[in-house]
Amino acid sequence: MVNLKINNVPVAVAPGTTILEAAHQIGIEIPTLCYMKDINEIGACRICTVEVKGAKTLVASCVYPVSEGMEVFTNTKKVMDARRTNLELLLSTHNKKCLSCVKSGNCELQKLCNDYGVDNEDAYTGEMNQYEIDTTAVHMIRDNSKCVLCRRCVAACRQWQDVGVIGANERGFKTNIGSAFEFGLGETSCVSCGQCIVACPTGALSEKDHTQQVWDALRDPSKTVIVQTAPSIRVTLGEAFGEPIGTNVEGKMVAALRRIGFDKVFDTNFSADLTIMEEANELVERIQNGGVLPMITSCSPGWVKYCEHYFPEMIPNLSTCKSPQQMFGAVTKTWYAKKEGLDPKDIVMVSIMPCTAKKFEVGRDDQSAAGVPDVDIALTTRELARMIQTAGLNFSALPNEEYDNPLGVDSGAGMIFGATGGVMEAALRTAADWLTGGSQENVVYNEVRGTDGIKEATYTINGLTLKVAVCSGLANAKKVLRSVQSGEKDYHFIEIMACPGGCVNGGGQPFQPASVRNFVDLKKLRAAGLYNTDAKMELRKSHDNPFIKTLYAEFLEKPGSHVAHEILHTSYVAREK
């Protein structure tokens, strides 16, 4: 261990630990702006500078390793003045229209300026770069007038997602973050995952806000406005209202949606169960009939788009199942519409999703089972939080209410879709019963749980050996796919989620500052909320959902039927890289 003192407090840490990490261990939080653990350790913003006894200059604590006998001071006048000056310099080229900024109240730059008493935002004046706001992408907006060049978005895109469609353009004062050849983001092979948005410390990046379209629909008496909520939303929405990370706020969320004015409040978990019915059947058919293997899940639109851009040769491996979001819209505008005597054209299907790629998915081809789009509007968790605030709802004081029937009944298998490995486990629960012809008591598959980027397991079910893999984050997906293509690995079934940790860590989830992301395992805490709920449910297998049974009996006939393929399955296209 290395022994040192920070603000005269002794601390012993492992060799290689940075001053920032050592300080955190004794309750001293050194501010950062550019630092993101493991992917963006560049010491660029200089907000984390500290004084080290004997050093000639202040040092960046995020990249400066500790040494034996070191004495560190984090809050001297010299340190505080330097941080304040750095903030004033950042503000000198920053768009300071904070009141109208979507990140106001969650902006890390804004908080730092408040913390350090920066009361003269025009301390340094001079030339300002002018930028056009980039709105070319379906899912997001880039406003470089609010960018602080921290490069966290660049690191997220390249390191986590292996996409790398953004980077630093120009040099010196003209440096800006953008795409090659100044293309708009929508003109690149961006996969719409939104990980750059949750990494951004300011309002430079934001999802396209579609809440006004929802308000307009709710005020139109000719429309029946139906909302569905994705599995992970219930364990993340509470963060926007001060609840501990991972708190399940399902009941309050349902109550809030009713008070906002939706005609029906349904649960995407229902169509997650439906996805398992179709996907498990498809897997069994491929194995038994010599179909293309490994079969790869198609629930994550960011992953699907990545496959179309970067691995088009593996499109035949994709399950043809629509995602749960799209299946839900398809069933709502066909089976449910007929039951309720509704014209599909008069239904506005709104989804609350953890994922900005869902905004792209609603506009995909071959996603209109009733002759109209399966889903009309996809909102992120953050957009729902803003709607709740706009509606003047006291979220913490709301009662717990239940979803409407019949599309609000779900199983624990549908619940765990929001965590990496959840789709695989849900499919295994159903496949095990189908292949054995009985109800298996064991419904927990620990090998595919956890937040590791890549997991693999082998199961033997009624004589059938099933080799599976689970990965999250597209950089990990690339590793798995390359190992399959090279012949190094041989799987039957692969689950891929675009976002590291799965939907609980999606690009549309509530903002958490780097001070939390660097030291708290958001993925683990949020996923635990889903698994804990699943463990308490009586219904834990998708094929046991009574309304799923009714849906097949009344409309879909059986998994994989002709009508099921017409309504619930889709196709893909190769895209330019």
Tokens standing for 137?
């992408």
For position 122, what pLDDT does the model report? 86
Tell me the mean pLDDT in the region 34-47.
96
- pLDDT mean across residues, the chain: 97
Mean pLDDT for the stretch of residues 383-410: 97
pLDDT in tens, 410-421: 999 999 999 999
pLDDT tens per residue across span 15-31:
999 999 999 999 999 99
- Residue 577: the pLDDT is 83
Each residue's pLDDT tens digit, 183-222: 999 999 999 999 999 999 999 999 999 999 999 999 999 9
Contact call for residues 245 and 525 (beta carbons, < 8 A): yes
pLDDT tens string 234-246 = 999 999 999 999 9
The predicted structure's pLDDT at residue 322: 98
User: Above 90 in pLDDT, residue 121?
Assistant: no
344-368 average pLDDT score: 98
Pull the structure tokens for residue 405.
């029937």
- What are the two backbone dihedrals, phi and then psi, of residue 168, each rounded to the nearest 5 degrees? -85, 125
What whole-number percentage of the chain has pLDDT above 90? 97
Does position 513 have pLDDT exceeding 90, yes or no?
yes
Q: Is 23 in contact with 29 (CB distance < 8 Å)?
A: yes
Where along the chain do its domains lie?
2-75, 98-207, 212-568
Rounded to whole angstroms, the Cα distance separating 338 from 319 reads: 28
Res. 126 pLDDT band, cuts 50 70 90: confident
Convert the pLDDT of each residue in 137-163 to its tens digit: 999 999 999 999 999 999 999 999 999
Q: Prior bond to 10 cis, omega within 30? A: no
pLDDT tens, 318-337? 999 999 999 999 999 999 99
Q: Which helix (H) or strand (E) holds 226?
A: strand 224-229
46-61 per-position pLDDT tens digit: 999 999 999 999 999 9
Q: Which fold has domain 2-75?
A: Ubiquitin-like (UB roll) (3.10.20)
Q: At what angle do helices 211-218 and 381-390 cross, to 10 degrees?
A: 50
Proportion of the chain above pLDDT 70, given as a percent: 100
Domain spanning 212-568 has what CATH number? 3.40.50.1780
Q: Model pTM greater than 0.85?
A: yes
CATH of domain 98-207: 3.30.70.20
pLDDT score for 120: 86
Report how far apart, in Å, the C-alpha atoms of 110 and of each of 38, 43, 88, 94, 156 are. Answer: 25, 20, 11, 11, 22
Instruction: Report, as an integer, the average pLDDT of 268-295.
Output: 96
Q: Mean per-residue pLDDT for 97-121? A: 94
